[in-house]
Amino acid sequence: MPVSKLRPPHLPPGHAFFALFALLLIGLLASGCIGDTDTPQNTLAPEGEVARQQRDLFMLAMWPALAVMIFVEVAIVVMLLRFRRRKDDQIPKQTHGNTPLEIAWTIVPIVIIIAFVGVPMIPVIFELGRDPADDAYPVKVTGIQWVWQFEYPEIVNDEGAALVTLGEPLHIPAGREIALTIVSADVNHSFGVPRVAGTRDAIPGQEERMWIKVDEPGSFAGQCRELCGTGHADMKVTVIAQSDEDFQAWSEEMAAGVRSAGTGDDSGAVSASGSGE
Protein backbone atom coordinates (compact mmCIF):
# COMPACT_ATOMS: atom_id res chain seq x y z
CA MET A 1 0.00 0.00 0.00
CA PRO A 2 1.43 3.41 -0.93
CA VAL A 3 2.45 5.56 1.99
CA SER A 4 0.18 8.35 0.80
CA LYS A 5 -2.86 6.11 1.39
CA LEU A 6 -2.00 5.21 4.96
CA ARG A 7 -4.46 6.55 7.50
CA PRO A 8 -4.48 6.42 11.28
CA PRO A 9 -6.37 3.32 12.43
CA HIS A 10 -10.00 3.77 13.45
CA LEU A 11 -10.50 2.11 16.81
CA PRO A 12 -13.90 0.82 17.92
CA PRO A 13 -14.96 2.16 21.35
CA GLY A 14 -14.08 -1.13 23.04
CA HIS A 15 -10.58 -1.17 21.54
CA ALA A 16 -10.03 2.48 22.41
CA PHE A 17 -10.98 1.82 26.04
CA PHE A 18 -8.61 -1.14 26.18
CA ALA A 19 -5.76 0.91 24.68
CA LEU A 20 -6.33 3.74 27.16
CA PHE A 21 -6.42 1.27 30.05
CA ALA A 22 -3.15 -0.31 28.87
CA LEU A 23 -1.46 3.10 28.67
CA LEU A 24 -2.64 4.01 32.17
CA LEU A 25 -1.39 0.68 33.51
CA ILE A 26 2.01 1.20 31.89
CA GLY A 27 2.19 4.71 33.34
CA LEU A 28 1.30 3.40 36.79
CA LEU A 29 4.00 0.74 36.63
CA ALA A 30 6.56 3.25 35.34
CA SER A 31 5.78 5.63 38.19
CA GLY A 32 7.23 3.06 40.58
CA CYS A 33 10.63 3.66 38.99
CA ILE A 34 10.50 7.38 39.76
CA GLY A 35 11.60 8.55 43.16
CA ASP A 36 14.31 10.06 45.31
CA THR A 37 17.76 9.06 44.03
CA ASP A 38 19.49 10.10 47.24
CA THR A 39 19.10 6.65 48.83
CA PRO A 40 21.81 4.58 50.52
CA GLN A 41 22.47 2.06 47.75
CA ASN A 42 21.23 3.73 44.56
CA THR A 43 23.56 2.90 41.67
CA LEU A 44 22.11 5.83 39.69
CA ALA A 45 23.43 8.33 42.25
CA PRO A 46 27.19 7.66 42.05
CA GLU A 47 29.71 9.36 44.32
CA GLY A 48 32.82 7.67 42.95
CA GLU A 49 34.65 7.48 39.64
CA VAL A 50 34.00 3.76 39.10
CA ALA A 51 30.30 4.00 39.98
CA ARG A 52 29.90 7.04 37.72
CA GLN A 53 31.42 5.28 34.72
CA GLN A 54 29.29 2.20 35.36
CA ARG A 55 26.18 4.39 35.48
CA ASP A 56 27.18 6.01 32.19
CA LEU A 57 27.65 2.59 30.56
CA PHE A 58 24.18 1.58 31.72
CA MET A 59 22.62 4.72 30.29
CA LEU A 60 24.54 4.30 27.03
CA ALA A 61 23.06 0.83 26.60
CA MET A 62 19.59 1.65 27.93
CA TRP A 63 18.56 4.64 25.81
CA PRO A 64 19.19 3.05 22.37
CA ALA A 65 17.48 -0.14 23.56
CA LEU A 66 14.52 1.86 24.82
CA ALA A 67 14.24 3.76 21.53
CA VAL A 68 14.31 0.51 19.52
CA MET A 69 11.72 -1.07 21.82
CA ILE A 70 9.32 1.87 21.46
CA PHE A 71 9.74 1.95 17.67
CA VAL A 72 9.16 -1.80 17.32
CA GLU A 73 6.18 -1.87 19.69
CA VAL A 74 4.50 1.07 17.96
CA ALA A 75 5.08 -0.54 14.55
CA ILE A 76 3.60 -3.83 15.76
CA VAL A 77 0.51 -2.17 17.18
CA VAL A 78 -0.05 -0.13 14.00
CA MET A 79 0.33 -3.20 11.80
CA LEU A 80 -1.98 -5.28 13.98
CA LEU A 81 -4.71 -2.64 13.89
CA ARG A 82 -4.32 -1.14 10.43
CA PHE A 83 -3.42 -4.19 8.37
CA ARG A 84 -5.29 -6.96 10.13
CA ARG A 85 -7.17 -9.35 7.91
CA ARG A 86 -10.83 -8.60 7.44
CA LYS A 87 -13.57 -11.14 6.90
CA ASP A 88 -13.66 -10.91 3.09
CA ASP A 89 -9.95 -10.25 2.49
CA GLN A 90 -8.06 -12.57 0.20
CA ILE A 91 -4.80 -14.10 1.32
CA PRO A 92 -2.07 -11.87 -0.17
CA LYS A 93 0.75 -13.16 -2.30
CA GLN A 94 3.35 -14.80 -0.08
CA THR A 95 6.98 -13.76 -0.42
CA HIS A 96 9.61 -16.21 0.79
CA GLY A 97 13.04 -14.71 1.21
CA ASN A 98 14.48 -11.38 0.15
CA THR A 99 18.26 -11.55 0.17
CA PRO A 100 19.02 -7.81 -0.11
CA LEU A 101 16.52 -6.99 2.64
CA GLU A 102 17.85 -9.72 4.95
CA ILE A 103 21.43 -8.56 4.43
CA ALA A 104 20.41 -4.98 5.14
CA TRP A 105 18.56 -5.69 8.38
CA THR A 106 21.52 -7.76 9.56
CA ILE A 107 24.26 -5.27 8.73
CA VAL A 108 22.51 -2.02 9.70
CA PRO A 109 21.87 -3.01 13.35
CA ILE A 110 25.45 -4.27 13.67
CA VAL A 111 26.80 -0.95 12.40
CA ILE A 112 24.51 1.00 14.74
CA ILE A 113 25.53 -1.08 17.78
CA ILE A 114 29.24 -0.82 17.00
CA ALA A 115 29.16 2.90 16.22
CA PHE A 116 26.89 4.18 18.97
CA VAL A 117 27.37 1.58 21.72
CA GLY A 118 30.44 -0.60 21.17
CA VAL A 119 32.99 2.08 20.35
CA PRO A 120 32.15 4.34 23.33
CA MET A 121 31.87 1.36 25.71
CA ILE A 122 35.08 -0.54 24.99
CA PRO A 123 37.55 2.02 26.43
CA VAL A 124 35.44 2.41 29.58
CA ILE A 125 35.20 -1.36 30.10
CA PHE A 126 38.98 -1.69 29.84
CA GLU A 127 39.45 1.23 32.24
CA LEU A 128 37.12 -0.28 34.84
CA GLY A 129 38.71 -3.71 34.51
CA ARG A 130 42.33 -2.63 34.78
CA ASP A 131 44.58 -3.36 37.76
CA PRO A 132 44.89 -0.64 40.39
CA ALA A 133 47.61 1.96 39.85
CA ASP A 134 51.01 1.37 41.46
CA ASP A 135 50.53 4.31 43.84
CA ALA A 136 46.98 3.31 44.85
CA TYR A 137 46.31 2.96 48.57
CA PRO A 138 46.13 -0.79 49.36
CA VAL A 139 43.46 -2.49 51.47
CA LYS A 140 42.83 -6.23 51.80
CA VAL A 141 39.13 -7.14 52.12
CA THR A 142 38.21 -10.53 53.58
CA GLY A 143 34.67 -11.88 53.65
CA ILE A 144 33.91 -14.01 56.70
CA GLN A 145 30.56 -15.46 57.73
CA TRP A 146 29.06 -12.91 58.40
CA VAL A 147 31.32 -9.89 58.69
CA TRP A 148 33.93 -8.00 56.69
CA GLN A 149 37.57 -7.78 57.73
CA PHE A 150 39.87 -5.02 56.48
CA GLU A 151 43.64 -5.08 56.56
CA TYR A 152 45.65 -1.88 56.00
CA PRO A 153 49.24 -2.80 55.02
CA GLU A 154 50.41 0.82 55.27
CA ILE A 155 49.16 1.28 58.85
CA VAL A 156 51.52 -0.60 61.18
CA ASN A 157 52.08 -0.52 64.93
CA ASP A 158 55.39 -0.37 66.81
CA GLU A 159 55.85 -4.11 66.29
CA GLY A 160 55.44 -3.82 62.52
CA ALA A 161 52.04 -5.53 62.41
CA ALA A 162 49.50 -4.20 59.92
CA LEU A 163 46.17 -2.84 61.17
CA VAL A 164 43.31 -5.33 60.91
CA THR A 165 39.71 -4.36 61.72
CA LEU A 166 36.76 -6.73 61.98
CA GLY A 167 33.16 -5.61 61.65
CA GLU A 168 34.16 -1.95 61.43
CA PRO A 169 33.79 0.55 58.56
CA LEU A 170 36.29 0.66 55.75
CA HIS A 171 38.21 3.94 56.03
CA ILE A 172 39.77 5.39 52.87
CA PRO A 173 41.17 8.76 51.81
CA ALA A 174 38.83 10.68 49.51
CA GLY A 175 40.10 11.72 46.09
CA ARG A 176 42.72 8.96 45.97
CA GLU A 177 42.65 5.67 44.12
CA ILE A 178 42.22 2.67 46.41
CA ALA A 179 43.47 -0.82 45.53
CA LEU A 180 41.21 -3.51 46.98
CA THR A 181 42.33 -7.13 47.19
CA ILE A 182 39.20 -9.18 47.90
CA VAL A 183 39.29 -12.72 49.32
CA SER A 184 37.06 -15.05 51.32
CA ALA A 185 37.83 -17.08 54.42
CA ASP A 186 35.00 -19.59 54.00
CA VAL A 187 32.25 -19.40 51.35
CA ASN A 188 31.47 -17.15 48.41
CA HIS A 189 30.70 -13.55 49.35
CA SER A 190 30.30 -10.43 47.22
CA PHE A 191 31.61 -7.00 48.21
CA GLY A 192 29.39 -4.21 46.96
CA VAL A 193 29.00 -0.51 47.76
CA PRO A 194 26.74 0.71 44.90
CA ARG A 195 27.39 4.46 45.14
CA VAL A 196 31.14 3.85 45.11
CA ALA A 197 31.56 0.94 42.69
CA GLY A 198 29.97 -2.25 41.48
CA THR A 199 30.24 -5.62 43.17
CA ARG A 200 33.19 -8.00 43.18
CA ASP A 201 32.97 -11.59 44.39
CA ALA A 202 35.05 -12.86 47.29
CA ILE A 203 35.89 -16.48 46.42
CA PRO A 204 37.75 -18.96 48.65
CA GLY A 205 41.28 -19.61 47.42
CA GLN A 206 41.16 -16.77 44.88
CA GLU A 207 42.20 -13.12 44.95
CA GLU A 208 40.10 -10.51 43.17
CA ARG A 209 41.51 -7.04 42.60
CA MET A 210 39.61 -3.87 41.86
CA TRP A 211 40.09 -0.13 42.24
CA ILE A 212 37.77 2.50 43.62
CA LYS A 213 37.96 6.25 44.03
CA VAL A 214 35.52 8.38 46.03
CA ASP A 215 35.07 12.01 45.03
CA GLU A 216 34.44 13.69 48.37
CA PRO A 217 34.43 12.78 52.08
CA GLY A 218 31.30 10.92 53.09
CA SER A 219 29.74 7.72 54.34
CA PHE A 220 28.45 5.05 51.93
CA ALA A 221 26.41 1.93 52.62
CA GLY A 222 26.90 -1.50 51.10
CA GLN A 223 26.46 -5.17 51.87
CA CYS A 224 27.30 -8.69 50.80
CA ARG A 225 25.40 -9.52 47.62
CA GLU A 226 25.99 -13.27 47.52
CA LEU A 227 23.74 -15.56 49.59
CA CYS A 228 26.33 -16.84 52.06
CA GLY A 229 24.36 -18.42 54.89
CA THR A 230 21.88 -17.67 57.62
CA GLY A 231 23.57 -14.39 58.60
CA HIS A 232 23.77 -13.02 55.05
CA ALA A 233 21.22 -10.25 55.63
CA ASP A 234 23.32 -8.76 58.41
CA MET A 235 26.62 -8.78 56.48
CA LYS A 236 26.68 -5.03 55.86
CA VAL A 237 29.56 -2.68 55.20
CA THR A 238 30.14 1.06 55.48
CA VAL A 239 32.81 2.89 53.50
CA ILE A 240 33.95 6.11 55.17
CA ALA A 241 35.88 8.44 52.88
CA GLN A 242 37.85 11.09 54.75
CA SER A 243 39.91 14.12 53.86
CA ASP A 244 43.69 13.57 53.80
CA GLU A 245 44.05 15.24 57.18
CA ASP A 246 41.27 13.24 58.84
CA PHE A 247 42.45 9.97 57.33
CA GLN A 248 46.02 10.59 58.46
CA ALA A 249 44.80 11.36 61.99
CA TRP A 250 42.69 8.21 62.03
CA SER A 251 45.62 6.13 60.74
CA GLU A 252 47.90 7.43 63.48
CA GLU A 253 45.27 6.67 66.13
CA MET A 254 44.84 3.14 64.83
CA ALA A 255 48.61 2.55 64.67
CA ALA A 256 48.88 3.74 68.28
CA GLY A 257 46.11 1.39 69.38
CA VAL A 258 43.42 4.01 69.92
CA ARG A 259 40.31 2.13 68.77
CA SER A 260 38.02 5.01 67.81
CA ALA A 261 36.65 3.39 64.65
CA GLY A 262 32.93 2.87 64.26
CA THR A 263 31.04 -0.33 64.95
CA GLY A 264 30.18 -1.07 61.36
CA ASP A 265 26.57 0.06 61.65
CA ASP A 266 25.71 1.63 58.28
CA SER A 267 22.39 3.10 59.35
CA GLY A 268 23.75 6.60 58.86
CA ALA A 269 25.43 5.87 55.54
CA VAL A 270 22.73 7.38 53.40
CA SER A 271 24.55 9.88 51.26
CA ALA A 272 27.84 11.50 50.47
CA SER A 273 27.44 14.30 52.94
CA GLY A 274 29.14 14.91 56.26
CA SER A 275 32.66 14.57 57.49
CA GLY A 276 32.68 10.82 57.23
CA GLU A 277 33.25 10.01 60.90
Distance CA 238, CA 236 (A): 7
> What's the pLDDT score for residue 11?
53
Q: pLDDT tens digits, residue range 233-258?
A: 999 999 999 999 999 999 988 888 76
SS3 for 117?
helix
142, part of any domain: yes
80, part of any domain: no
Mean pLDDT, the chain, integer: 81
pTM of the predicted protein model: 0.70
Domain count within the chain: 1
Give the tens place of pLDDT for each residue, 157-166: 878 888 999 9
The per-residue pLDDT for range 105-128, each reduced to its tens digit, is: 899 888 888 887 788 888 888 888
What pLDDT digit, counting tens, does each position of 47-65 carry?
Answer: 888 888 888 888 888 888 8
Residue among 134, 142, 139 at smallest CA distance from 251:
139
Q: At what angle do helices 119-129 and 49-82 cross, to 10 degrees?
A: 150
How many angstroms separate the CA atoms of 139 and 193, rounded?
15
Residue 164: domain span:
137-255
Evaluate whether residue 117 is within a structural domain: no
The answer as to whether 235 is a domain residue is yes
Give the pLDDT of residue 69: 86
Element (DSSP H or E) covering residue 193: strand 189-193
pLDDT at site 276: 37
243 domain residue, yes or no? yes
Q: Residue 31 domain-assigned? A: no
**CA-closest candidate to residue 163, choices 197, 139, 135:** 139
pLDDT tops 60 at residue 23:
yes
Residue 200, domain CATH: 2.60.40.420
Residue 221 lies in a domain: yes
Angle at 239 between CA 200 and CA 33, to 5 degrees: 70
In a domain, 244, yes or no: yes
